[in-house]
Amino acid sequence: MDYYIIIPAHNEEAFLEGALQSILDQKLLPKKVVLVNDNSTDKTELIMDKFIEKNPFFTKLNTTSSTEHMPGSKVINAFNKGLALLDDQYDFIVKLDADILLPDIYFEKIASIFKNNENAGVVGGFIYEKNKKGKWELNHTMNKDHVRGAFKAYSKKCFKAIGGLKNAMGWDTVDELLAQYHGFSIITIDDLRVKHLRPIGVAYNKKAKLLQGKAMYTMRYGYLITLIASLKMAMKQGKTNAFFDNMSGYKKAEKEKALFLVTREEGQYIRNLRWKGIKKQLF
């Protein structure tokens, strides 16, 4: 199967070479890889150029955006600029972060899932990070039927159906909710262990703390589901402030009448899906 990869990168000199080498080491190589140099001021571009010389399927796009590392908007803005360079001659498309290491069978297995399951919409493995003892351990704070935003693969049909990726915080949740709305499955593969070199959220700007609550508002969760989801998130993270930040973000978005990411009909489906998940955990 043919697949494209888009990698947004902002000041990733510490990790990018390893990530790109892990792509070169794949048993099933990509058709194209677009490297989006998003306003980097370090050696990110030099590393990109090095890999472009190694293999013609790598290509580079230089773009300028905010230097603030805000979740959602910055990375998807860069992703969409890279997407504009690609045609539709692919079976699945991949959004990758620049700070991960993939096992060499990663895309071979992803392709097999898409090839043998026409309903597969979003497919991926699991994130592993080093603990304080230097051992790689699973870091998956959400349900196991969720593919992390660092390595999301979409079938072409699914990607088109959901209208691509939303340029906002919550893009890597709303994509899966909309995929299910359109009848596609979310599939995770236990033995695809992706090494994540930078702990989740370390580089995020402090302004980002209210964006999770805003995302819940724009996905039309409603107040009660947002309350339950925020409590669950705070408990899993062991951070009481996460609950209050989420609720403040939700109320702020509601007051400002932030634009919704989904239609009323999609929002109703999302709420029903969320209530179904909540009831399943309770009973």
How confident is the model over 60-91, as pLDDT tens digits? 999 987 655 555 678 999 999 999 999 999 99
**Strongest mean pLDDT among 54-68, 91-105, 133-147:** 91-105
Please give the model's pTM, rounded to 2 decimal places: 0.89
Question: Poorest-confidence range of 183-187, 234-238, 267-271?
Answer: 234-238
Tell which wins on pLDDT, 121 or 234.
121
- Residue 31: helix, strand or coil by DSSP? coil
Give the C-alpha separation, 9 to 184, whole Å: 29
Give the C-alpha separation, 72 to 36, whole Å: 15
Torsion angles phi and psi, residue 174, rounded to 5: -65, -30
141: confidence class by pLDDT, cuts 50, 70, 90: low
Q: Which two tokens stand for residue 24?
A: 């070169």
Contacts of 84 (CB under 8 A, 6+ apart): none
Contact present, 80 and 53 (Cβ < 8 Å): no
One DSSP character per residue, 83-95 reads HTT--S--SEEEE
Contact present, 100 and 195 (Cβ < 8 Å): yes
Q: What is the pLDDT of residue 69?
A: 53
One DSSP character per residue, 110-135 reads HHHHHHH-TTEEEEEEEEEEE-TTS-
Q: Tens digit of pLDDT for each residue in 100-115?
A: 999 999 999 999 999 9
Q: Nearest to residue 277, comparing CAs of 147, 184, 177?
A: 177
DSSP alpha helices (H): ranges in the chain?
Answer: 16-24, 44-54, 73-83, 106-116, 156-161, 171-181, 211-218, 223-237, 240-256, 264-282
Contact present, 188 and 126 (Cβ < 8 Å): yes
Q: Nearest to residue 93, comparing CAs of 85, 27, 101?
A: 85
* Count of CB atoms situated within 10 Å of the CB of 245: 20
Q: Which two tokens stand for residue 250?
A: 């939700």
